[in-house]
Structure 1
């Protein structure tokens, strides 16, 4: 399945580190920056999370919520949040239901091995729950600033 700009964003319900189930629909009325990333504690994912952390107030200033999603379990997310002082939600998509709904669960290749995993991707979801912008196959450097500029221009 794949999503398209302008379409309603697929809703989901995933566990957060506080033990609660979080639904995308809980954030109606706010802009949501939903980013999918492969794995906690890896270099690229850590850089991306810290970039979102460093711009967190700027996203809040434009009525936007940042939510990170990976297949890691809640316990690993807790350690990641504590180690890097991350002020936004990380949700555990251990069964990759949300990743599949957004079309980011892909066949990947690394050092000649093939496996299924997350394609680093970001979606901006507007206040009505529609996908306003998508980035797939994201390169970390400069991406958070690009996402922030888009939200600022379209908030």
Structure 2
């Protein structure tokens, strides 16, 4: 069942770009989170999306939020992607697709892993679920709702 606005973010663990175990309990309920699922490292739209998050990362930090990108790519692929494009935020490997299932992120066009963004407030409650194959628009939606939360 897909997560929706008003749901609490589930706790989860996954490997980050350093091969370390990322534990969401260290973040959920402590600060706003932007968790975005994307299809694949190094593809055109996914790279544009990641670079847009990178280019706006300081604004997310200034609003007290952390950005987490998730795809099924390997830790090694994420490390290369992060290094090549100087991505300052967390990338997690979901190679077994457990996180995608936990969040209820469906495939687009039946075969392409979905591109979906979840924004949670500092209590871990989801305030935005956004699904679009257009990468850059996710950043604008996430920033807009974060600014509304911090008014």
Interval of TM-score (by shorter of Structure 1 and Structure 2): over 0.9
Q: Deviations over 1:88-111 (max 9, x none)?
A: 0000000011101111142x44xx
Which protein has the bigger strand share?
1
Structure 1: how far apart are the matches of 2:139 and 2:73?
21
- Residue of structure 1 equivalent to 2:98: 97
1:137 Cα deviation after fit: 2.8
Structure 2: how far apart are the matches of 1:35 and 1:80?
16
When the two structures are superposed, what TM-score results if normalisation uses the length of structure 1? 0.90
Unpaired runs of 5+ residues, structure 1, are none
Secondary structure at the aligned position of 1:146 is classed as helix
- Residue of structure 1 equivalent to 2:33: 32
Matches within 5 A, 1:24-103: 24-27=24-27, 28-103=29-104
When the two structures are superposed, what TM-score results if normalisation uses the length of structure 2? 0.93
1:138 Cα deviation after fit: 4.2
- Residue of structure 1 equivalent to 2:121: 126
CA contact (8 A) 1:40 1:72 kept: yes
1:14 Cα deviation after fit: 0.3
Structure 2: how far apart are the matches of 1:105 and 1:137?
12
Secondary structure at the aligned position of 2:50 is classed as helix
Unpaired runs of 5+ residues, structure 2, are none
1:3 aligns with 2:3: yes
Q: How many residues align?
A: 149
Greater shift, 8-17 or 58-67, is seen at 8-17
Structure 1: how far apart are the matches of 2:132 and 2:32?
22
Structure 2: how far apart are the matches of 1:130 and 1:11?
12
Greater shift, 62-71 or 118-127, is seen at 118-127
Q: Deviations over 1:119-149 (max 9, x none)?
A: 1000001111111111013422333122111
RMSD (Å), alpha carbons: 1.4
Deviating above 3 A after TM superposition, structure 1's stretches of 4 or more consecutive aligned residues are none
1:154 aligns with 2:149: yes
CA contact (8 A) 2:15 2:93 kept: yes
